[in-house]
Chains A and B, each alone.
Chain A
Amino acid sequence: MKINFILNGREIELTVPSDIRVVDLLREELDLTGTKESCGSGECGACTILVDGQSRLSCLMLAAQLQGREVTTIEGLAGNEGRHPVQEAFVQAGAVQCGFCTPGMVLAAVDLLGHRPDPSRAEIREGLSGNLCRCTGYQKIVDAVEMAVHREKG
C-alpha cells in the first residue's frame, strides 16, 4: 500500500506492505538504524519513536498506521544548531554506555519533558520506566534529564 507521512521533518511517500512493522520499515527500508529492536513485544522501549510528539513503540505499530502522521526518529531529533539539549545532556552527564537503549531513552525523555517540563527525579524515573537499560543503572540517565532541564531554564 501507499503511505504518506512526515519523517524527521520531510514529507515522504512510500509503497510498503501494509503489515510491515514500523521498526522494520525504518531499519530495513529507510536505513534509519538508530531505532533499535530488543524484544519485539513492547517490554523494553529500545524501538521508541515519536509519533505526533508522543513516544510510541515502533515494534507494536504497523506501517499503515503512519499514514498522515508526523514521525521523529533519533536521527531527526537534532536541529540545525546540532544536538538536541537532551542528546547533549546524555553525552555530558555520562548517560551513554553501550548505547543500544540510548535512542529510545532519549526520545522517551524528550516526550517526558514535552508534557512535564520540570520533573522531579522520581518523575523522571517514572517517565523512563518503559525503557530498559542494562548498563548504566539509570542514575546518570536521570542526571542527564535533570541537566537538560536546567540548561533549558538557562
Chain B
Amino acid sequence: MPDGRIPQIGVVFPRTDALTKVSGEEKFAADYYGQDLVWAGVKRAGIPHARLKSLDVDQARQVPGVIAVLTHLDIPGENRQGVVRKDQPVLVDDKVRHAGDALALVLAESKPALAAALNSIRCELEPLPGVFDPEQALAEGAPLVHEDNPEGNLLLKAEVKTGETESVWEECAAVIEACFETPHQEHCFLETESGWAKVESNGKIVIVASTQTPFRDRTEVAQVLGRDHTGIRVIAPYAGGAFGGKDGITVQSLLGLAALHSQGRPVKMWWDREESFSAGTKRHPARMYYRLGAKADGTLHAVEVRLYLDTGPYDHLGGAVMTQAVEHSGGPYRIPHAWLRGWAVYTNNPIGGAFRGFGVAQVTAAMEQMMDLLAAKLDLDPVQIRLKNAVRRGDKNCVGVTLTGSAGLSECLEKMAAHPRWQERQTWIRAAGLLKRRGVGLAAVMQAVGYGPFVPDVANAKVELTLEGKIRVYSGVVDMGQGNAATNLQIAGSILSQTPAQMELILPDTDRTLPSGSASASRCTYTFGNALIGAAQALKERILQRSADLLMAAGPDELVLVSGLVRRVTTGQEIPLAVLAKWLTDAERIAVYRFRAPVAQERPAKDDQVRLHGLPHCIFSYGAHLAMVEVDELTGAVEVKGYLAITDSGRVLNPQTYEQQIHGGIVQGLGYALSEDFRVTDGLIQTSDLATYIIPTAMDVPDMLSIPVEINEPTGPFGLKGVGEVAMNGPLPAVANAVAAACGGRCYSFPLTSERVLQLMTAS
C-alpha cells in the first residue's frame, strides 16, 4: 500500500490504483484475452450519407478463419440505441448517416482473418447529398439526416429568456457583437474503445467494457438483444481514459451480439486509433453568436446568445450538451436581461457527444472573450469587470436560477487580482525577447455539478465487513482515471478508521455493485461520496453497537474503531474485525445508502424537454484562470509560458487527485486552444490519427500553478463540489485573451494554430 496510515480527509493519500497501474498488473478492458479467443470487428461505411442498397457478405463468410458475419438482420431486439433519443442503429439497416457507421460485424479466429473478411464485404451504397453545417441543415430544403424526424434536422432547441429582450440594448453604454467558432475535439483517451464478452454456462452474457456507464449500457444492450437486463452483466474495470467519450455505447452492443454467435468462446473487440476517431464521439463543434451589453461602469445589462451545435447524425447526448451550453452561455455573471437560445442539429459529420465540459467549454470560450472585448471597449480592468458581475451565493444566475449553493467565483477573482502573476504582468510582458510578443489573459469559469432537475442524480453505496475482517467498498461509479475509486477508499477508510491494507475495492459491476449513475457531469465523488458517507457511517455504527453488546459495554461510546479491530477504550479490550464479522449475519455485515443530489426548484425554461435535458442545475464549481503566452512574430507559434488556475470546487478531499484534475483539464484545454485542429471535409475526417490530430506532448505545456479556494459546499461530501470538468473551460478563452493582448487583434475561429495567429499579426 502506498501509505500504511489511516486516510484522512483533506490530506494527500497516494492513489491505491497507482500501484497496480505502475507495475503493469492492472487489467483494463483492452487487456482481456483468454483461451479460444474470437476477434470481432466492424465494417464501416466510409462515406457520410448513403442509402444501403445491399450488403454481400457471402465472400467474407468464406474467408478461412471466419466464424460469423452478422448484419442488422441478425439483431434479435431493437436496432436503435441512444442515451436519450434512440436514433442510432447498431448495424445500418436503411441508411448510412456518417462515415463511421457500422454495416456488418465479423467474428474470426485471428486478427488477419478478421481483416481479410472485413475487406471482402461488398456493400452497395447509393450516395445521398449530405449536410455538413448546422445552420445549413436547418435551412429549407436541406438533405434530411432522419426522414422520420418531424422537426427536420433539428434535434432539440432550448430557449431561456429572463427580463426584457428588445428595449434593453439602448440602455447599455457599450454593446459588443461577435461570432465564435470552435471545432470538434477528439477525446484521445489512450485506451481506445475496447471490450470482451462471453456467454456463461448459465446463459448470462458477461461484457467487460471500457465504459463510463455500465448500468445504462446493460439496459441498452438488453434492448438490442431483445432480452431482459438480468440476463446481462456489465463489468467496468478502470478505464484507460474516457473524458465523456465512453459515456454510452461503443463496443458493448456489438460485443453482446457477437457473444451470441461465438459458441461460448470469449470475444474481443478493440478499435484501433483510426476507428476510434471515425466511430467515436467528439466534442460538438459550435457556432456561437453573441451580443453583450453593459452600463458604463461595467455592470452587465443584457446578453443575447444563439448557439448552433453540430451533433452529427445521432443524438447521443447532443440535446443535453446543447442544453448545458445554453445554461452556461451567459457565464458566471448576474445579467438581468438574457435571451439564450441553442439548437442541436443533425448533420452527416462525426457524432457529437459528451466531452469534459459538456457544452460549457464552447460557450466559455465565447463568453469570456466577450468579457474582454467589453472591458476593452469600456476601458475597464478585465479582473474588475468580472468581479463586478460575478455571481454570489443567493444571486440569480444568467438563466434566472437562485444560487442556493456555495459560489466562490469572487474569491477566486480576488485572489487572481492580488496574485503576482497578474500584478506583475506588465514587467513580464516587457521582458519579451527579440521577435517575440507576450500577453496575459484571463477567464472566469464555471461548471454545473450533476444531472440537473429531471434525471435522478442518484448513487447507491454499499460497504461490507467481510468475514476476513476487511472493509469492502463497492464502487458504483466508474473510475476512468480521475481517481474516485481510491477516493472511495479514502472516504470509507477515514470514517471506519481503516488503513488501505484493511480495505478492498470492488469496481463497478452490474452484478455486484449498486446502480449509481454515470461517471460524468462532475458528479462522481459529489453524488457517490455522499452515498458512501451514509453507508460507511451506518456500518460503523453497527460495528460499534454490536461490539459494545459483545463486550458488555454500556454503549458504543466506550468503543473506537482502529485498523483491523474494535477497541474498548475504558478497558483496552479488543475485538478483531474478523472475529466480529462471524457474529454478524450476512445482511448485518453490509450497509447500503442512497443519495440523491439536490435539484433547483425554479423552472427557467418553459419547454419541459429542456428540463428533461438537464436545465437548470443548482450547484456549480467556479474558477479564475490566467494564461501567460509568448507569440513568435516569424511563425505565429504560441507558447504558453505560465498558467494559473484558482478554483472553487468546495473542500478538497485529496490535494493530489484534486490537482490531477486541474492539471489534466488545463492541458486538454490548451490542446483545444492551440493545436487540436480536428478537420472534417464533407463528412470525412482529414485528421484521422495521432500523427495529424495534434495533442500536447510534455514539451508543449508549462508547469501550472493550481490554487484551491476551499469554500464549504453544505450539500457536498465533506463540503466538496465536482472538479472533474471545470478546469477544461478556461484555457481556450484565457489563451485567446492573452494572444489578443499580445497581437492587438483577435481570431474568432479556433484553435489558434500558428497559421491563424501569423495571419492575425499580419492583418493587425
Determine the distance from Cα of A37 to Cα of B14 in the docked complex, in whole angstroms: 26
Q: Is B243 in contact with A134, judged by CB distance below 8 angstroms?
A: yes
Q: Which of B18, B31, B689, B698 contacts A96 (CB 8 A)?
A: B18
Q: Is B689 in contact with A129, judged by CB distance below 8 angstroms?
A: no
Q: Which of B12, B190, B698, B703 contacts A98 (CB 8 A)?
A: B190
Q: Which of B24, B25, B696, B701 contacts A35 (CB 8 A)?
A: B24
State how many residues of chain B have any CB contact under 8 Å with chain A. Answer: 58
Q: Is B659 in contact with A140, judged by CB distance below 8 angstroms?
A: yes
Closest to B192 in A: A38
Interface centre among A41, A121, A128, A138 (most CB of B within 10 A): A138
In the complex, how many angstroms separate the beta carbon of B582 from the nearest chain A beta carbon?
34
Binds A, one of B234-242, B295-303, B560-568: B234-242
The answer to whether A60 has its CB under 8 Å from any CB of chain B is no
Q: Which of A41, A73, A83, A136 contacts B691 (CB 8 A)?
A: A41
In the complex, how many angstroms separate the beta carbon of B424 from the nearest chain A beta carbon?
22
Q: Which residues of B contact A33 (CB under 8 A)?
A: 24, 27-28, 30-31, 33
Q: Which residues of A contact B22 (CB under 8 A)?
A: 74, 83, 87, 90-91, 96, 99, 102-103, 106
Determine the distance from Cα of A87 to Cα of B20 in the docked complex, in whole angstroms: 10
The answer to whether A22 has its CB under 8 Å from any CB of chain B is no
Given A91-B18, A98-B480, the answer on whether A135 and B273 have CB atoms closer than 8 Å is: no
Q: Is B190 in contact with A44, judged by CB distance below 8 angstroms?
A: yes
Residue-wise, chain B 4-27 has the 8 Å CB interface mask toward A (1 for contact) of 000000001011011101111111
In the complex, how many angstroms separate the beta carbon of A76 from the nearest chain B beta carbon?
9
The answer to whether A57 has its CB under 8 Å from any CB of chain B is no
Determine the distance from Cα of A75 to Cα of B23 in the docked complex, in whole angstroms: 6
Q: Is B701 in contact with A43, judged by CB distance below 8 angstroms?
A: no
In the complex, how many angstroms separate the beta carbon of B120 from the nearest chain A beta carbon?
21
Q: Which residues of B contact A46 (CB under 8 A)?
A: 190
Determine the distance from Cα of A40 to Cα of B181 in the docked complex, in whole angstroms: 32
Given A125-B699, A135-B241, the answer on whether A91 and B704 have CB atoms closer than 8 Å is: no
Binds A, one of B463-471, B661-669, B743-751: B661-669
Given A28-B33, A125-B698, A128-B698, the answer on whether A135 and B660 have CB atoms closer than 8 Å is: yes
Q: Is A36 in contact with B30, judged by CB distance below 8 angstroms?
A: yes
The answer to whether A39 has its CB under 8 Å from any CB of chain B is yes
Closest to B187 in A: A134
Q: Is B663 in contact with A90, judged by CB distance below 8 angstroms?
A: no
Which residues B168-214 have CB closer than 8 A to chain A?
A: 187-192
Interface centre among A35, A46, A92, A139 (most CB of B within 10 A): A139
Q: Which residues of B contact A134 (CB under 8 A)?
A: 187-190, 241, 243, 664, 668, 695
Q: Is B24 in contact with A135, judged by CB distance below 8 angstroms?
A: no
Q: Is B18 in contact with A99, judged by CB distance below 8 angstroms?
A: yes
Q: Which residues of A contact B660 (CB under 8 A)?
A: 94, 97, 135-136, 140
Q: Which residues of B contact A128 (CB under 8 A)?
A: 697-698
Which residues B54-70 have CB closer than 8 A to chain A?
A: none
Which residues A37-92 have CB closer than 8 A to chain B?
A: 37-41, 43-44, 46, 73-75, 77-78, 83, 87, 90-92
The answer to whether B482 has its CB under 8 Å from any CB of chain A is yes
Given A36-B30, A73-B24, the answer on whether A96 and B690 have CB atoms closer than 8 Å is: no
Q: Which residues of B contact A35 (CB under 8 A)?
A: 24
The answer to whether B364 has its CB under 8 Å from any CB of chain A is no
Q: Is A98 in contact with B691, judged by CB distance below 8 angstroms?
A: no
Q: Which residues of A contact B691 (CB under 8 A)?
A: 41, 43
Q: Which residues of B contact A95 (CB under 8 A)?
A: 18
Q: Which residues of A contact B480 (CB under 8 A)?
A: 98
Q: Which residues of B contact A101 (CB under 8 A)?
A: 190
Closest to B15 in A: A96
Q: Is B666 in contact with A137, judged by CB distance below 8 angstroms?
A: yes
In the complex, how many angstroms separate the beta carbon of B44 from the nearest chain A beta carbon?
17
Q: Is B191 in contact with A44, judged by CB distance below 8 angstroms?
A: no
For the complex of A and B, 4 pairs with smallest distance between CB atoms: A34-B24, A98-B481, A99-B21, A100-B240
Chain B residues close to A by CB (< 8 Å): 2, 12, 14-15, 17-19, 21-28, 30-31, 33, 111, 187-192, 238-243, 272-273, 480-483, 656-657, 659-660, 663-668, 689-691, 695-699, 701, 703-704
**What 17 additional pairs, Cβ within 8 angstroms, besides A36-B240, A40-B273, A100-B189?**
A27-B33, A41-B691, A43-B690, A43-B691, A94-B12, A94-B15, A98-B189, A98-B239, A99-B26, A99-B238, A100-B241, A128-B697, A134-B188, A134-B243, A134-B668, A137-B664, A139-B703
Chain A residues close to B by CB (< 8 Å): 24, 27-28, 31-41, 43-44, 46, 73-75, 77-78, 83, 87, 90-92, 94-103, 106, 121, 124-126, 128-142
